[in-house]
Chain A
């Protein structure tokens, strides 16, 4: 249980921080999309017998860059790009799997991690990853903020907007590809979005909203883990349900009178 708490807190810190930048760019489905892309990587990894986790990360990074490039051309709407990659990669993964002669059981292990079965090395990986992502966001915070607000304005300030936009989605790709195997794609995807939209209800500034969303996601993880323990429920799902309840509460609190 201590490991579940450590991994949960690491995810609770990193997910809404990166999620904030995704939500304001209309990329809320990014986590699910990248998870499905990672599945292609896992399938390739299993067929070619090369480290599946490594290939999953590479696939997610390539897809993230592709999503940004396609958005830059303005040929396709942002959310349609995500749908394109989501269903496309699922299709490619299932074709690879059937071409290779069937599901190897271990394929599923990469998709459905669970916070209750986090091992010692998983804790190490997820804490290290969270530190890298959080420090990167902290260092480039002002640039990420302006690039997310208005890319063209950022470029007129002499900022390499394309580079920072891409760096953001690459960070998201690494976060998703690494943590879905450990805590499950449901948890990482939900914590990237739900605490952020909950915090946005309070109409605060950008920094305040991020801090608020981190507080909300930490609360969801801690309360969710305790509740799932006592009720004997699946932990990932319970955490997400707690986050949802907090969202509903925030709606009640911010009802326009």
Chain B
């Protein structure tokens, strides 16, 4: 009995020290500065758009950390607290950020404005036999991205109406850039020798249909899916038929799949970033939505053997 009591005393003391130490080292929960509101977002593009629109009146807290796939992320208690002190919580929905859907459920009844972005879109169905999934990757189409910007702008105005002028101006200015991007992509991808791309997971269907590209994904809608041997064979066959020389992989997911197919079919690999998050290197290099999209276009031009370089 003595041994058990002393075990618990030692364990309690150690735990207490651990918690005290943790508390002293902990990063503060985002403080609400006067004249500002906090907007929490589930992943990178939403954070970027909210920052562009909100400017100086908004502190954006992006929950999914750099280098992590939003889909796999498990929020920490601190993240939940950050969301709780925010005025607006933006998330993608449609199964893209399942943890955020659960958090959102929990925010019903609070005064936090919760926005499921994909609810505002008429999503494409990705029909596979038996199951049909909705495709949440709308932000990769600059035209649909402009709609996202408007949705976020309206959310900001409804919570912070005194700055509606600023939000309107900022949103309009950013949407001009997105419109320019749309024109740039359209121009860049015309007059190309090829029109088929192979990607590791099906993230680019909105993008592809906008610019007349045929997207073939090795795996399906989710990056975690493991393709069958038959599927890998089909992809290799397709590459041969369509004279495809390049296979695209992503920055956040493992390139193993793309590399395997590339090796088997004698192809090269390149990066097509679905912007589901930025890595630390990309952030350090000052990358953002517009520059990554531009990089994507350059890589596509190479692969599709386009003229307008």
Which residues of A does B touch, CB under 8 Å? 1, 3-4, 46-47, 94, 97-98, 100-106, 108-109, 112, 114, 116-120, 184, 202, 204, 212, 215, 219, 223, 225-236, 242, 245-246, 249-250, 253-254
Residues of A within 8 A of B221 (CB): 102-105
A230 to B225, CA, bound (A): 34
B130 touches A100 (CB 8 A): yes
A102 to B228, CA, bound (A): 10
A46, A101, A235, A236 interface centre (most CB from chain B within 10 Å):
A101
A105 touches B133 (CB 8 A): yes
How many A-B pairs have beta carbons closer than 8 Å: the answer is 141
A-B contact pairs, 23 of them (CB 8 A): A3-B106, A46-B131, A47-B130, A94-B226, A98-B226, A100-B131, A101-B130, A102-B128, A104-B131, A105-B221, A106-B95, A108-B224, A114-B75, A116-B79, A228-B76, A228-B77, A229-B78, A230-B19, A230-B23, A232-B76, A233-B76, A234-B74, A235-B76
A169 to B19, CA, bound (A): 37
Residues of A within 8 A of B284 (CB): none
Residues of B within 8 A of A94 (CB): 226
B4 touches A212 (CB 8 A): yes
B77 touches A4 (CB 8 A): yes
Tell me the smallest distance from the CB of B21 to a CB of chain A, in Å.
8
Task: Name the residue of chain B whose CB is nearest to the CB of A202.
Answer: B4
Residues of B within 8 A of A119 (CB): 102, 105-106
A121 to B188, CA, bound (A): 51
A56 to B102, CA, bound (A): 20
A108 to B95, CA, bound (A): 10
A124 to B6, CA, bound (A): 36
B residues 202-239 in Cβ contact with A at 8 Å: 219-222, 224-226, 228
A100 touches B79 (CB 8 A): no
Count how many chain B residues have C-beta atoms less than 8 Å from C-beta atoms of the other chain: 47
Q: Does B7 contact A (CB under 8 A)?
A: yes
Q: Does B10 contact A (CB under 8 A)?
A: yes
B14 touches A100 (CB 8 A): no
Residues of A within 8 A of B220 (CB): 101-103
Residues of B within 8 A of A98 (CB): 226, 228
Q: Does B71 contact A (CB under 8 A)?
A: yes
- Name the 5 nearest CB pairs between A and B, nearest first: A101-B128, A105-B95, A230-B22, A102-B220, A230-B26
Residues of B within 8 A of A47 (CB): 130-131
Residues of A within 8 A of B194 (CB): none
Residues of B within 8 A of A215 (CB): 8
Task: Name the residue of chain B whose CB is nearest to the CB of A212.
Answer: B4
Residues of A within 8 A of B76 (CB): 116, 228-229, 232-235
B99 touches A114 (CB 8 A): yes
Residues of B within 8 A of A105 (CB): 71, 95-96, 98, 133, 221-222
Known A102-B221, A103-B222, A108-B98; contact A231-B25, beta-carbon cutoff 8 A: yes
